[in-house]
Structure 1
Amino acid sequence: MKHLAALLLLATTALAAEPLHRLKLETPQDLQALLHYSGEPLPLVSAHRGGPAKDYPENCIATFEHTLAHTFSMLEIDPRRTKDGAIVVHHDATLERTTTGTGKVVDATLAELKQLRLKDTEGHATEHQLPTLDEVIEWARGKTVLVLDQKDVTAVERAEIVTRLKAEAYVMLIVSSFKEVVAVHRVNPNITMEVMIPTLAKAEEFDGLGVPWKNVVAFVGHVPPEDKALYDYIHGKGACTMIGTSRNLDRKVIQGEVKDIKLLEPEYRAFLNRGADIIETDIPVPLGTMLYGSAAVPKGKAGLFEKR
């Protein structure tokens, strides 16, 4: 525990003086209240891989701090298993793109992986190490919502980790099938899930599973559906919808096709006006600042948002 505390202190010292946009979630019911559809705009983005940028590697605690210093954000992260059974946070199955190492994550021990350094979006090595999933979950308590993608750790295994760490109030799971949704809910009915529900037919199918809508954020797609009935149906169940812009609008900014994100503001807002409540993005800092920098927190949820 002393080793873990030291790592967390080191990772957060650089930004300690900068206030964070925190989500104050103490119980699973707080998370459900945050994500309950109220009809009011929700000033919250979901940072894909935590929101990497120059000097800030993906899936890195320092990067998470950087994102939260600028905007309220959920953090989508990627658990992967090591050779000796530990679970680290790293997107790719291999190490070359984002670390100073080579080979597969699963072929290295945790001790070996901790010797590596993470690379930023420009491929430059930084001082930062791969964090373990336990380290990230401990860091996130009282700060934000973590969204755990699947990779090579199954939905049920992730549910068991959340349960073991008593993190249901602020850790969600991305679950890829309705069968897994049911399995996770059986393991722990307090766990919230992000579930792909891209059509009205799928929404109606989900409704028959017996899993409460309060446990779900509906991811409707990377190409946001135009079917108003889909959004209305999900909202009518009290759930929020999420869309992804990492594969479309964000790329125009990242690749330099558009120099100023403000030029794309009408297109991002069009997705919100269509019925999306949360945008998953590769550029949470500029996007969250642009969309929500002066936005008011919904009155009914004001106690869940804090900047300090």
Structure 2
Amino acid sequence: MKKIFLCGALLGGALLANAQNTINVLNIKSAKDLRGFFAWTGKDMPFISGHRGGVNKGFPENSIEAFENTLRHTPATFEIDPRLTKDSAIVLMHDATLERTTTGKGKVGDYTLAELKQLYLKDVEGKVTSFRIPTLEEAIRWAKGKTVLILDKKDVPFEMTAAIIKKHKAESHVMVTVHSAKEAKWYHDRNPEIVFEAFVKTQQALEEYEAANIPWTHIMAYVGPDNKPELAPLYANLNKRGVMCMISTAPTYDKLPGAEERAAAYRSIIEKGASLIEADRSIEAADAIASLVPAESPKKKFFGKKAIK
């Protein structure tokens, strides 16, 4: 009996260890795959984009550790925030200052990369962790074969953003946030492989992207933070063009006080027509919409699992 119990315990421990060493991944190998992943079909797999990399207890925002923690629970893309250091390196940091998310003080741009690498990151509760500030290059290298990074617009010049994507041949797993058709055209004219998270909050904005000849195959549309009925015609017009739509819950529904209330809000977003949710509460939001994932979808081929060390 003791031997059986011991064997069972060892097997259980091995299975647990195996589960902990497995992450959800997006099987996207090329820019063409990425465009296919974001093409609206009407039978898509709803999923989560982690705002600032996902904001979960013990795992600081904009950290590789936060990305990996989210992927242990759910497939996801990640919206991240590149900022320039004093010596023109690019690190991940939402705020222009260091106090809220690190053990440092002052402006990010007043420190060299080497100086910033001496600091520790804080989690959502302000607790200091053992994690360090990552560079954008570190994140890009880590993300390949695992997920998609969406670069928000902070203080990094467009030229530097375009250059780092080209340097790493990262068009398959790095997207750029653009706030207007003019910004999208700047990137598209220089690198027609780049895919965008584009602000398309109105019919007028839709028409501006169309007039600028930005291919709809290269756009995933951010339609705003509110799940409002007025979005229905915009969803229809974007879906007709093969475009997925996203709502960001970070400034709205993520802040609701109750877990059940938040879960209902996340589900309603997908039920009303959005294809994905950008959430601070990446794991919680993914759990809430899991029941809405269809049993069959042409997008299943993009979702998989991978063992990590």
The question of a shared fold, defined as TM-score above 0.5 by the shorter chain, is answered with yes
Q: 1:23 to 1:135 in 2, by over 3 A?
A: same
- Alignment deviations for residues 131-179 of structure 1 (CA, whole Å, 9 cap, x no partner): 0000000000000010000110133431221111100001100112221
Q: Determine the structure 2 residue equivalent to 1:19.
A: 22
Identity in percent: 42
Q: Determine the structure 1 residue equivalent to 2:125.
A: 122
Q: Determine the structure 2 residue equivalent to 1:68.
A: 71
Counterpart selection for 1:247 from 251, 276, 281: 251
Please report how far the alpha carbon of residue 267 of structure 1 lies from its aligned counterpart in structure 2 after TM superposition.
2.5
1:281 is the counterpart of 2:284: no
Q: 1:64 to 1:22 in 2, by over 3 A?
A: same
1:306 is the counterpart of 2:304: yes
Q: Determine the structure 2 residue equivalent to 1:238.
A: 242
Q: Determine the structure 1 residue equivalent to 2:290.
A: 292
Q: Determine the structure 2 residue equivalent to 1:224.
A: 227
Q: Distance in 2 between matches of 1:264 and 1:87?
A: 34
AA in 1 matched with 2:54 = G
Counterpart selection for 1:179 from 179, 182, 185: 182
Q: What pairs with 1:208-219 in structure 2 (closer than 5 Å)?
A: 208-219=211-222
Verify the 8 A CA contact 1:43 1:72 in the aligned structure 2.
no
Q: 1:135 to 1:212 in 2, by over 3 A?
A: same
Q: Determine the structure 1 residue equivalent to 2:108.
A: 105
Q: Determine the structure 1 residue equivalent to 2:264.
A: 266
1:205 is the counterpart of 2:203: no
SS in 2 for 1:117: coil
Q: Distance in 2 between matches of 1:52 and 1:107?
A: 26
The farther-off stretch of 15-24 and 195-204 is 15-24
Counterpart selection for 1:33 from 29, 33, 36: 36
The farther-off stretch of 220-229 and 60-69 is 220-229
Q: Distance in 2 between matches of 1:95 and 1:16?
A: 35
Q: Distance in 2 between matches of 1:170 and 1:94?
A: 28
Q: Determine the structure 1 residue equivalent to 2:139.
A: 136
Please report how far the alpha carbon of residue 236 of structure 1 lies from its aligned counterpart in structure 2 after TM superposition.
0.4
AA in 1 matched with 2:267 = R
Q: Determine the structure 2 residue equivalent to 1:164.
A: 167
Unaligned ranges ≥5, structure 2: 1-16
- Alignment deviations for residues 84-103 of structure 1 (CA, whole Å, 9 cap, x no partner): 11110111101111000111
* Aligned Cα root-mean-square deviation (Å): 1.8
Q: 1:116 to 1:293 in 2, by over 3 A?
A: farther
Verify the 8 A CA contact 2:50 2:278 in the aligned structure 1.
yes
Verify the 8 A CA contact 1:198 1:225 in the aligned structure 2.
no
SS in 2 for 1:300: coil
SS in 1 for 2:162: helix
SS in 1 for 2:78: strand
Please report how far the alpha carbon of residue 294 of structure 1 lies from its aligned counterpart in structure 2 after TM superposition.
7.7
- Alignment deviations for residues 214-247 of structure 1 (CA, whole Å, 9 cap, x no partner): 1001100012342321110000000100111111
Q: Determine the structure 1 residue equivalent to 2:11.
A: none
SS in 2 for 1:69: helix
SS in 2 for 1:97: coil
Q: Determine the structure 1 residue equivalent to 2:155.
A: 152
Q: Distance in 2 between matches of 1:224 and 1:264?
A: 13
Please report how far the alpha carbon of residue 43 of structure 1 lies from its aligned counterpart in structure 2 after TM superposition.
2.9
The structure whose Rg is larger is 2
Verify the 8 A CA contact 1:47 1:281 in the aligned structure 2.
yes
Q: Distance in 2 between matches of 1:48 and 1:15?
A: 28
TM-score normalised by length of structure 2: 0.89
Q: 1:191 to 1:297 in 2, by over 3 A?
A: farther
State how many pairs are aligned.
Answer: 289
Please report how far the alpha carbon of residue 279 of structure 1 lies from its aligned counterpart in structure 2 after TM superposition.
0.7
